[in-house]
Amino acid sequence: MAVAEAVKKNAYEAALENFDTAADALELDYDTREIIKYPERVLEVSLPVRMYDGRIHRFQGYRVQHSTARGPAKGGIRYHPYVNLDEVKALATWMTWKCALVNIPFGGGKGGVACNPKEMTQEELERLTRRYVASILPLIGPERDIPAPDVYTNPQVMAWIMDTYSMAQGYTVQGVVTGKPIGLGGSLGRNEATGRGVFFSVQSACTHLKIPLKGAKAAVQGFGNVGSIAAQLLHSHEARVIAVNDSRGSIYNPKGLDIPKLIAHKKETGRVSGFTGAEEIQPEELMGMKCDILIPAALENAIDSDNAPQVRAMIVAEAANGPVTPEADRILEEKGVFRIPDILCNAGGVTVSYFEWVQNEQHLFWEAQDVYNRLERVMHSAFAEVLKINLERKVSMRTAANMVGVGRVAEAVKLRGLFP
């Protein structure tokens, strides 16, 4: 199935299925389910942008607020050709349970624009971003809904978001967006936070399964911000990253790839292919690689019912959002593969986003080590909490993680009562 089709078909259905499984395990009543299951608000916007050649191109954009029960909606903005409303709804839903799981005072949201930033100039991207922000302006704000980076958006895009919002308000509002450049009120450690959080959760899983991290073999699918930083941290803790890929190719070295050099190569050439000290392999070989830790760090549905039977890893660490379809999840369960579910594994990003927002609200900035220490505590304790439910209730790590997240949101809506 083409990736676009797979993304369209499954993501939101999978999100609803995750919810139902957790709600059943929690024995949640019907009324509470009706209140918390579906997105609170959905906005679809049409974005005409003047392109480099003088013509107008129209892009489709979205912002979904799934929940504001525990605080402002929170979640990234994705720029990718496959972005569609169902995908954004799924991603917003997962953000709600993720924020609740790590117990930060946010709900869940997500935004996206269907576009291909790889084929756009910086000026076009800036115009698109500013037009998008102007169109979703009534929804966002530091107490309402706080965007952040996601696939193919970065600190520069966040800077344009902050500037556009601030221009409309008439004064500078740092807390409207996280993942900003440091010079504009960004937090130290935010850029690496998702990859660092993935590393902490892999560390916890290895301790639990008694797999020594030193010498452990890892394969990483996707070598963007998250995949490359997780790989770098594994490498610096003497794990062997034996295979890596990106959208343009896949490489392999059984002795372990030199990750700092690979990051430099990717920066220079825009791809992992062509790296000296590695052989090129087919993308499907990576998923079936015999290794201890497999890290899908790209898009949804990377592991589906077609390739799940081939997975030979002990641990699947879901650095991406929704990388394992529900059918594939059942196959991995039967094979005894330990899965670190996405809302736990990749929660480091939004956790440090919360730290950034706190620093912006307080106008007081923390040292990098404070950010790392607090992040480590949050990740290890969330892992321990999920593992406890997994062992005691004999449910999967995914269901356990969703039970914590859904349970906290259910508690919040019960306490608030129903308006009007």
Q: Which of 70, 74, 80, 235 binds ligand GLU (CB under 6 A)?
A: 74
CB-CB contact of 386 with 9 (8 Å):
no
Closest to ligand GLU by CB, 346 vs 396, is 346
Name the residue type at position 50: R
Q: Give the interface segment with ligand GLU, choosing from 69-77, 162-170, 381-389, 394-402 (CB under 6 A).
A: 69-77
Closest to ligand GLU by CB, 190 vs 217, is 190
Peptide linkage before 283 cis (omega within 30 of 0)? no
Size of the site for ligand GLU (CB under 6 A): 11
Q: Shortest distance, CB of residue 50 to ligand GLU, whole angstroms?
A: 28
Find the distance separating the first CA and the last CA of the chain, reported in whole Å.
Answer: 46
Q: What burial class does residue 384 get, using C-beta atoms within 10 Å of its C-beta: 0-12 exposed, 13-18 middle, 19+ buried?
A: exposed
Q: Shortest distance, CB of residue 217 to ligand GLU, whole angstroms?
A: 27
Rounded to whole angstroms, the Cα distance separating 389 from 75 reads: 26
Length of the chain: 420
Tell me if 61 contacts ligand GLU by CB under 6 A: no
Q: Which of 129, 221, 228, 346 binds ligand GLU (CB under 6 A)?
A: 346
What is the rounded radius of gyration, in angstroms, for the C-alpha atoms of the chain? 20
Closest to ligand GLU by CB, 213 vs 404, is 404
Closest to ligand GLU by CB, 206 vs 345, is 345
With CA atoms as reference, report the closest residue to 372 among 205, 237, 197, 213: 197
* Residue 97 neighbours by CB under 8 Å, 6+ apart: 18, 19, 22, 108, 343, 401, 402, 405, 406, 409
Q: Give the interface segment with ligand GLU, choosing from 31-39, 227-235, 308-316, 342-350 (CB under 6 A).
A: 342-350
Q: Shortest distance, CB of residue 95 to ligand GLU, whole angstroms?
A: 6
Rounded to whole angstroms, the Cα distance separating 217 from 55 reads: 50
Q: Which of 349, 359, 386, 390 binds ligand GLU (CB under 6 A)?
A: 349
| Residue ranges in 156-185 that form contacts with ligand GLU under rule CB under 6 A | 178
Name the residue type at position 77: I
Q: Which of 39, 61, 72, 76 binds ligand GLU (CB under 6 A)?
A: 76
37, 89, 98, 110: which one is catalytic? 110
With CA atoms as reference, report the closest residue to 322 among 296, 356, 348, 347: 296
Q: Which of 87, 126, 150, 318 binds ligand GLU (CB under 6 A)?
A: 150
CB-CB contact of 218 with 195 (8 Å):
no
Tokens of 189: 């450690």
Read out DSSP for 268-331?
A: HHSSSTT-TT-EEE-HHHHHT-EEEEEEE-SSTTSB-TTTGGG-EEEEEE--SSS-B-HHHHHH
Tell me if 75 contacts ligand GLU by CB under 6 A: yes
Q: Shortest distance, CB of residue 145 to ligand GLU, whole angstroms?
A: 10
With CA atoms as reference, report the closest residue to 198 among 169, 239, 148: 239
CB-CB contact of 98 with 57 (8 Å):
no
Rounded to whole angstroms, the Cα distance separating 109 from 17 reads: 18
Tell me if 350 contacts ligand GLU by CB under 6 A: yes
Largest interatomic CA distance in the chain: 65
Tell me if 353 contacts ligand GLU by CB under 6 A: yes
Q: Shortest distance, CB of residue 361 to ligand GLU, whole angstroms?
A: 15
Closest to ligand GLU by CB, 218 vs 350, is 350
Q: Shortest distance, CB of residue 193 to ligand GLU, whole angstroms?
A: 8
110 tagged catalytic: yes
Q: Shortest distance, CB of residue 138 to ligand GLU, whole angstroms?
A: 19
Tell me if 337 contacts ligand GLU by CB under 6 A: no
Q: Which of 6, 148, 159, 412 binds ligand GLU (CB under 6 A)?
A: 148
* Active site residue ranges: 110
Residues found near ligand GLU in the complex (CB under 6 A): 74-76, 148, 150, 178, 321, 346, 349-350, 353
